[in-house]
C-alpha cells in the first residue's frame, strides 16, 4: 500500500440539478384519480382528501397528493362548536397555510394583484419528490361547467423570484409546461380575479384561487357558513374531469471530484512484505529491480489521522510502470 498527500487543486466541487418524474411508477402525467371513502369518512376527512393513482383498495395504491380548502372566515364547513361561530376546519386550514407560507396570521394571500381570503390547496405527498417541485414543469387541467382550463406557473417569464417563509413562490397562470397562454390577458391571469394561484415548489404545494377559477370555468367554492360545502370535492371533480396533471421533481446533487495522479516514478513497487528479504532488506524478485510493474485496483481516501474515509474500485486493474502515468477521477455524491 502506498500513500500520497493530495493537493488543494486535486479537489473540485460541482452541483448538478437532476429532474425526474413525480408520480408512482415513473408516470409523466397522472390521468386517473381515485379517493378513499374510508379516509374521507374519517376524522381527517373534515380537513383534506387524499388522491390515489389507482383504487385505494389496490395493493399498489399510494397517495399522490391531497386537496383541501381554506377560508379565513371559516366558511364552507361546519363549526366545531355552534356556540363559537366561524371556527371550523376551513379556518384551521387557512391558518395553517397562513403560518407556513406567510409566517404572519394577519397577512392575506395575494394572487397576482387580488387579495383573497380563501384558497384551494394541492399538497403533493412528500414521498413523491426528492427535494422540490420543478418550476416550469407544471401542467394541470381543470374542467367545469364553463369549459376547461390549463394551468402552469410563470417561472419562465418572471425577471426576479419572489420568496415567502415557505421559499420560492410563482404565480399560477393560464398555460402548459411553463408556457404562458396570453388568451386571458397578457400575463395569463384571470381578467378581474388575479392569478390562478401560487406554486410553492420548496414545500410541494399549489394554492389555487377559487374566484379566478370560477370566473374562467365556473368551478366555485361553497362559502356557506356552518355548512359542509365539500369544497375539496369540487376541486377533485375539476381535476378528475380535466384528466391530466403533470409536474416533475427536482434535486440538486453536490459532487466532490478528487483527482488522483500517479506520476511515472510513483506506485511502481509493491509494499507487500513478501517481496522484501527480511534479513537483508533486498528485493527478492529480480523483475522488480529492473522493470517493476504493478496493477493498482483500489484507491483509498484517508484523513490526517490515517482513518479510511472512502474506497473507490477501478473497473479493471491498471498497469503501472516507469513509462506510464495515470489520472483517476473519483466522484463522491452527497
The reported pLDDT for the residue numbered 234 is: 92
The reported pLDDT for the residue numbered 186 is: 60
Which long-range CB contacts under 8 A does 161-165 form with residues at least 24 apart? Answer: 164/101, 164/102, 164/103, 164/200, 165/100, 165/101, 165/102, 165/103
Question: Looking at the whole model, is its pTM more than 0.85?
Answer: no
The reported pLDDT for the residue numbered 310 is: 87
Per-residue DSSP letter, 270: -
The reported pLDDT for the residue numbered 274 is: 73
Domain map (residue ranges) of the chain: 8-15+252-333, 23-246
Other CB atoms within 10 A of residue 43 CB? 7
As a whole number of angstroms, the distance between CA 109 and CA 8 comes to 49
* CA 324 distance to own-chain centroid: 46
Q: In 73-94, which positions are buried (b, 16+ CB within 10 angstroms) versus exposed (e)?
A: ebbbbbbeeeeeeeebbbbbbb
Closest CA to 242 of 132, 133, 122, 134: 122
**3 state DSSP class of 100:** helix
pLDDT along the chain (334 residues), means of 10: 83 83 90 92 91 88 94 89 87 93 88 91 92 92 92 89 92 87 68 89 95 90 83 93 93 86 86 73 73 86 89 89 89 77
The reported pLDDT for the residue numbered 276 is: 75
The reported pLDDT for the residue numbered 110 is: 92
Closest CA to 26 of 112, 102, 174, 129: 129
- Nine-digit cell string for 57: 383498495
Amino acid at each position: 500500500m502506498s500513500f500520497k498527500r493530495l493537493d488543494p487543486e486535486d479537489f473540485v466541487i460541482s452541483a448538478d440539478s437532476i429532474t425526474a418524474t413525480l408520480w408512482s411508477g415513473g408516470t409523466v402525467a397522472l390521468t386517473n384519480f381515485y379517493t378513499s371513502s374510508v379516509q374521507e369518512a374519517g376524522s381527517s376527512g373534515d380537513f383534506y382528501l387524499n388522491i390515489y393513482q389507482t383504487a385505494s383498495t389496490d395493493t399498489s395504491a399510494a397517495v399522490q397528493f391531497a386537496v383541501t380548502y381554506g377560508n379565513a372566515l371559516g366558511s364552507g364547513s361546519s363549526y366545531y362548536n355552534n356556540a363559537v361561530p366561524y371556527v371550523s376546519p376551513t379556518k384551521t386550514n387557512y391558518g395553517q397555510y397562513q403560518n407556513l407560507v406567510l409566517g404572519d396570521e394577519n397577512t392575506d394571500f395575494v394572487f397576482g394583484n387580488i387579495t383573497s381570503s380563501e384558497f384551494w390547496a394541492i399538497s403533493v405527498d412528500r414521498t413523491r419528490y426528492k427535494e422540490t417541485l420543478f418550476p416550469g414543469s407544471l401542467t394541470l387541467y381543470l374542467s367545469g361547467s364553463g369549459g376547461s382550463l390549463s394551468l402552469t406557473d410563470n417561472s419562465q417569464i418572471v425577471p426576479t423570484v419572489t420568496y415567502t417563509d415557505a421559499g420560492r413562490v410563482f404565480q399560477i397562470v393560464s398555460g402548459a409546461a411553463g408556457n404562458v397562454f396570453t388568451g386571458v390577458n397578457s400575463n395569463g391571469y384571470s381578467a378581474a380575479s388575479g392569478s390562478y394561484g401560487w406554486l410553492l415548489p420548496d414545500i410541494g404545494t399549489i394554492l389555487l384561487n377559487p374566484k379566478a377559477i370560477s370566473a374562467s370555468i365556473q368551478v366555485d367554492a361553497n362559502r356557506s357558513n356552518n355548512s359542509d360545502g365539500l369544497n375539496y370535492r369540487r376541486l377533485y371533480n375539476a381535476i378528475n374531469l380535466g384528466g391530466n396533471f403533470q409536474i416533475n421533481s427536482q434535486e440538486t446533487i453536490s459532487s466532490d471530484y478528487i483527482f488522483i495522479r500517479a506520476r511515472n516514478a510513483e506506485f511502481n513497487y509493491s509494499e507487500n512484505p513478501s517481496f522484501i528479504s527480511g534479513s537483508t532488506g533486498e528485493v527478492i524478485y529480480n523483475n522488480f529491480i529492473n522493470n517493476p510493474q504493478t496493477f493498482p485496483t483500489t484507491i483509498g481516501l484517508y484523513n490526517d489521522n490515517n482513518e479510511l474515509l472512502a474506497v473507490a474500485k477501478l473497473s479493471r486493474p491498471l498497469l503501472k510502470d516507469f513509462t506510464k502515468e495515470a489520472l483517476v477521477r473519483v466522484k463522491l455524491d452527497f
